[in-house]
Chain A
Amino acid sequence: MIVFAAPWLLLALLGLPLLYWLLRVTPPQPRAQSFPAIELLRDLPVTEESPARTPWWVLLMRLAAAALLILGLARPVWGPGAESEGPGPLLLVMDDGWAAAPDWAPRMAAGLAALDRAARQARPAALLATAPTETAAPPRVLGPMPAADLRSRLLVLRPKPWPTDPHAAAQALSEWRAAHPGPLTSLHITDGLEAALLHGPLTAAGPLSLMRSQERPRRILAAPRAEPDRLHVTLRQTPLPIASQAAVLARTADGRALARAVLAIPPSATEATAALELPLEIRNQVVRLEIENEAGAAAVALLDERFRRRPVGLLPGAEEGADAPLIGDLFYLDRALAPFAELRRGTLDALLARPIAVLVLADRPVAPGREEQLLSQWVQAGGTLLRFAGSRVAERPDALLPVPLRAERALGGGLTWEQPQSLAGFADTSPFAGLIVPAEIAIERQVLAEPSPRLAERSWARLSDGTPLVTAETRGQGRIILFHITATAEWSNLPLSGLFVQMLRRVVALSAGVAGVPEGEAALAPVESLDGFGRAVPPPPAAAAIAAPALESTIPSPRHPPGWYGIPGADSAYRRALNLGAALSHPQPLAPAPPDARLLPLESLPTERDLGPWLLAVALVLLAADLLVSLRLRGLLVWRAAALALALALPAQAQTAPEGAPALATRLAYVVSGDEALDELQRQGLAGLSDFVNRRTAAALAEPMAVVPGESDLAMFPLLYWAISPNAAPPSAAALAALNAFMRNGGIILFDTRDDGSGEGFSPGSRAALRRITQGLAIPALAPVAEDHVLRRAFYLLHELPGRFAGGQVWAARDQDRANDSVSPVIIGGHDWAGAWAVDGRGQNLHAAIPGGTRQRILAYRFGVNLVIYALTGNYKGDQVHVPAILERLGQ
């Protein structure tokens, strides 16, 4: 169906016959011909008139061009949806709560199409978004205003990470109706939630159309439940008549997906659960669960410390001497556990007063009575009690042991024939399965377990002769684990080995997490929020702090958007998550529409196409062809000249330089590492940086390029970025020569090992690779980048130089080489700057910064700007050191 936006212009088609007649009676211009003997031609008798008519095809072409011009100006639109017929202005009601996020694009398209139709009908329009805004303002009606003006207001609308507020919306509507009475046509693009409060007044005022998605279920990721060795994720959705599937992704802080759980949802079910089983070591890295391919804050669950933090309490047999180096009861435990667990010390009462995940009793018997009861209750409630044997425990066994103890035995030594025993490999069913047992481990003494039928299944580790070394028993929701040796090197050398650390890590990882409630009523300020699409963004302006105890019961709102909350200024690692999905109840099925409303599906909205520009373009092409033809008819045109002009008018494709000729524009470059993912990261990083530099500075950088030293010409690049891959091979002789020449002639190479500071251990082996690579390079003596180094003040004043990681050291040449403008030819660091700069095709950052925050990202970009300016201008800003001297001289 074609509708004309300006149909009265079609009247001009009536003028076409007149045009036809005019064109017909006007003869074409004669062809001109220069001729010397013109005097002989003068006054020759004219015998007959040649048919001086415009050729019929030229006539047809001109008429067609004129007709197309008229049709195009009448702005025909192909296939518009049903015109909203009705009186009065158009009221567009947009639901922009969390439920609108997954299909926001079609909603927006439908809204824009409705406004376009209203604009064609010159009908004023008004807009009502039903969710509170980011500034916590209640919904209000915008308009009425010309529909074209409202378009820009609609375009900035985004789904909110909180529910809509139908009451406030209904109130806003009634206030608006009071000011603008009269007939009204309304279109509600609804998320399907109950909206009778709105529909009543709207149907009373005029025709109402309801546009909603019929097929798509609304899905919510409920709060996950942590179990010792798995995470249970629960998905709630509106029931579907058929079986469906969904997947939940577990992501780390830097955006990597660690695991994917598939949930099968039976027909007409509203809930599905799946377990995310993760290797124990990486379980704690998960900070975010999200439903795959589902945008929206309700599809994201952030995992905070409750799911990760495992405080470990240490209780020695005797307080005095427990920390004595090498012989103290807790010396080795402290060393082994401190890197990955929060350790607490104190009396048993003090330790149990606060939630802890693991309690370690190192050769400490449990006194019967109150102490035993206290511990027993704690274990039943989910605590993990880890005990180490010793002479005291062997003398007085108590009830809180996984197996009854029999005696103590010594293996090896002066008075026994037996040799010290080594450790057998771990069984597959043991939680220690997979750990490598070093051969040099020797157990000289241990306590023996009383033989019992259940001893085998309770043994987690055995000696090579089969005696249990580690036994465990599940009691209630908790566990008791016993190491049949001391936690010191007295009975065995196991505490001296790395295996000990790994075993302890597994034990702690098995324990249930505890919710760490900070002391008192501390207010938690928003650190990072989720937007309506579930992306991490800086907190909106209206976001306010929440008292810690109230966090559990808070329903997300503009004042409290979902996201991370933490104690400002204090321990920045402590964060609590406010999740939208946890606060929402079961999604309701679609609310019934009012009987007199017209229901429109959202998905099958016919697309509109404005044909006007195309018709005008065809008309212009025809007119241009007509110009050529008439020039030709008058002899003013030589075909060859026309072809030449046409060739010149075409885009100069033959002139395009070979792709990425480095001499034509300033551009950054990165050294190809051979690792495709790393190269892509470098490319995206430099693209992001170039974009930032282009926006913020006068430097104009083109797309970054990949270079291979020794093969590519490096002379045109001011800066080479070189992310070191752990398995990088040393460069060839030609590459070394090229790189040395590059540095000698003023180029800068930034080496990035991507493993420094907070990123320690992310790229093991890259430092060795850096040593390999730089062995043949003329690297000058290095020093940490000083506080007054030009690199810190070339554009921004920077005190730290973070990338994706922060806290490491950045190195540059120590001696100022006057020959090279005092510019350091190398900068070496490990902050993974490219990771921080990297943007994808939509301009969004790909990798989360660690420890994180918008500020770190901004600082990373600022370091990049400084780096580029440093590479481009050298020590220009270094001249500032002379400013005091110059000022002094001026003063005299």
Chain B
Amino acid sequence: MPSAVLRAEALGAHLPPLVVEAERVASTVMQGVHGRRRAGMGDSFWQFRPYLAGDAAARVDWRQSAKAERLYLRETEWEAAQSVVLWRDGGPRMQWRSHLAEVTKKERASLLLLALAALLLRGGERVRLLPGPPRSFQGRGALPALAEALALAPEASPSAADALPRHARIVMFSDFLGPLEETRAIAAQLAARPLSGRLLQIMDPAEESLPYAGRRRFEGLLGELPAILPRVEAVRDLYAARLAAQRAGLADMAGGLGWSFSTHRTDARPETALLALWQGLAPA
């Protein structure tokens, strides 16, 4: 369909900068963690095995066979790649930024997701996008395709209908400002697959500090009833306490599921958050 093509082209036009930025962020983290030459895990040599009847002739390693009088087959190491599921909240709440931040929370979440995916793909892992096409991305060249799929992906929360590899790991990017119960239900349903996961709360600096003053009418982004505050500066501490309680609830929930929880502000450098994420995933 022409319109789909056009839309894809329009998306593709702004995808490369995002991919490039993600690659840049990812490469700094890679050097910071490993500091060694990269090696192709799937290509490493395992052993030569004598030819047995029934082996395909194409698998014969002719160079090795020419050195001896028998035929040899080259066998490589069997590799079982880890699947990592990535989810980014793209709802209206995420598409917001205050005057204190340069980017919206969604943009920062997309960047972190792609950078993490770049690292994982370089490491040979399989990356699955949620929601997204029911297939995994693999190989270093898959990043642009992943970015495109991310841009085209519908905005939705993970649900039970998603077919996910078992024992995979999941990384969730969101502000988690919705009711705690909903977050808990989703996380519990994912943990029961079973999946082990990691929550990254991305917050705008204004959401942490509430930098407003005077008489204000606050309007939600999901069509909630507006809240009128006669003096905003007077309730700043109360708000901070409520936010801390929300975070504590999230951390408790993650701990209960065996998951981890961390936060990130959009005015901070994305590399920091990525390093933390990568380190959280790397030991596995």
Residues of A at the B interface (CB closer than 8 Å) are 27, 30-42, 44-50, 52
Other A-B contacts than A34-B220, A34-B221, 16 sampled, CB-CB below 8 A, are: A27-B215, A30-B215, A32-B216, A32-B219, A34-B96, A34-B218, A35-B221, A36-B93, A37-B243, A38-B224, A41-B218, A44-B229, A46-B229, A47-B231, A48-B230, A52-B230
User: Once the chains are docked, how many angstroms separate the CA of A136 from the CA of B215?
Assistant: 81
Residue of chain B at shortest CB distance from A35 = B218
B176 → chain A closest CB, angstroms? 11
Query: Chain A CB within 10 Å — which of B206, B217, B234, B243 has the most?
Result: B217
Residue of chain A at shortest CB distance from B242 = A40
A666 → chain B closest CB, angstroms? 44
User: Once the chains are docked, how many angstroms separate the CA of A34 from the CA of B220?
Assistant: 6
User: Once the chains are docked, how many angstroms separate the CA of A46 from the CA of B238?
Assistant: 11
Which residues in A have their C-beta under 8 angstroms from that of B276?
Answer: none
Whether the Cβ atoms of A33 and B219 lie closer than 8 Å is: yes
Whether the Cβ atoms of A32 and B217 lie closer than 8 Å is: yes
| Sampled A-B contacts (24; CB under 8 Å) | A30-B216, A31-B214, A32-B219, A33-B212, A33-B219, A34-B218, A34-B221, A35-B207, A35-B218, A35-B220, A36-B93, A36-B204, A36-B220, A37-B207, A38-B219, A39-B224, A40-B242, A41-B218, A41-B227, A45-B235, A48-B230, A48-B234, A49-B230, A49-B231
B90 → chain A closest CB, angstroms? 13
Residue of chain A at shortest CB distance from B218 = A35
Whether the Cβ atoms of A31 and B216 lie closer than 8 Å is: yes
Whether the Cβ atoms of B234 and A33 lie closer than 8 Å is: no
B278 within 8 A of A: no
Which residues in A have their C-beta under 8 angstroms from that of B231?
Answer: 47-50
Which residues in A have their C-beta under 8 angstroms from that of B218?
Answer: 33-35, 38, 41
User: Once the chains are docked, how many angstroms separate the CA of A39 from the CA of B180?
Assistant: 12
Which residues in B have their C-beta under 8 angstroms from that of A44?
Answer: 229, 235, 238-239
User: Once the chains are docked, how many angstroms separate the CA of A39 from the CA of B226?
Assistant: 10
B184 → chain A closest CB, angstroms? 16
Whether the Cβ atoms of A46 and B227 lie closer than 8 Å is: no
B175 within 8 A of A: yes
Q: How many residues of B contact A (CB 8 A)?
A: 32
Query: Chain B CB within 10 Å — which of A39, A47, A48 has the most?
Result: A39
B136 within 8 A of A: no
Main secondary structure of the interface of A (DSSP, over half): loop
User: Once the chains are docked, how many angstroms separate the CA of A293 from the CA of B214?
Assistant: 73
Residues of B at the A interface (CB closer than 8 Å) are 93-94, 96, 175, 177, 179, 204, 206-207, 212, 214-221, 224, 226-231, 234-235, 238-239, 242-243, 246
Residue of chain B at shortest CB distance from A49 = B230
Residue of chain B at shortest CB distance from A46 = B230
Residue of chain A at shortest CB distance from B238 = A44
A523 → chain B closest CB, angstroms? 90
User: Once the chains are docked, how many angstroms separate the CA of A44 from the CA of B229?
Assistant: 8
Which residues in A have their C-beta under 8 angstroms from that of B238?
Answer: 44-45
- Per a CB cutoff under 8 Å, which of B175, B230, B239 touches A36? B175
Whether the Cβ atoms of A36 and B221 lie closer than 8 Å is: yes
User: Once the chains are docked, how many angstroms separate the CA of A344 from the CA of B235?
Assistant: 120
A43 → chain B closest CB, angstroms? 8
A722 → chain B closest CB, angstroms? 59
Whether the Cβ atoms of A50 and B235 lie closer than 8 Å is: no
User: Once the chains are docked, how many angstroms separate the CA of A845 from the CA of B52?
Assistant: 119
Residue of chain A at shortest CB distance from B224 = A38
Whether the Cβ atoms of B219 and A40 lie closer than 8 Å is: no
Residue of chain A at shortest CB distance from B93 = A36
Residue of chain B at shortest CB distance from A29 = B217
Enumerate the 8 nearest inter-chain pairs by beta-carbon distance, A residue then B residue, closest first: A38-B220, A36-B93, A30-B215, A30-B217, A35-B218, A44-B235, A50-B231, A40-B242
Which residues in A have their C-beta under 8 angstroms from that of B221?
Answer: 34-36
- Per a CB cutoff under 8 Å, which of B215, B227, B235 touches A52? B215
Which residues in A have their C-beta under 8 angstroms from that of B230?
Answer: 46, 48-50, 52
Residue of chain A at shortest CB distance from B208 = A37
- Per a CB cutoff under 8 Å, which of A27, A31, A40 touches B239? A40
Which residues in B have their C-beta under 8 angstroms from that of A37?
Answer: 175, 177, 207, 243
Query: Chain A CB within 10 Å — which of B93, B215, B243 has the most?
Result: B215
Query: Chain B CB within 10 Å — which of A36, A39, A40, A49 has the most?
Result: A36
Residue of chain A at shortest CB distance from B217 = A30
Which residues in A have their C-beta under 8 angstroms from that of B234?
Answer: 47-48
User: Once the chains are docked, how many angstroms separate the CA of A27 from the CA of B206?
Assistant: 27
User: Once the chains are docked, how many angstroms separate the CA of A52 from the CA of B214?
Assistant: 9
B124 → chain A closest CB, angstroms? 37
User: Once the chains are docked, how many angstroms separate the CA of A44 from the CA of B227?
Assistant: 10
Whether the Cβ atoms of B217 and A33 lie closer than 8 Å is: yes
Contacts known (A34-B219, A46-B230, A50-B215); A40 close to B243, Cβ less than 8 A: yes
B203 → chain A closest CB, angstroms? 8
Query: Chain B CB within 10 Å — which of A42, A49, A52 has the most?
Result: A42
Which residues in B have their C-beta under 8 angstroms from that of A33?
Answer: 212, 216-219
Which residues in B have their C-beta under 8 angstroms from that of A30?
Answer: 215-217, 228
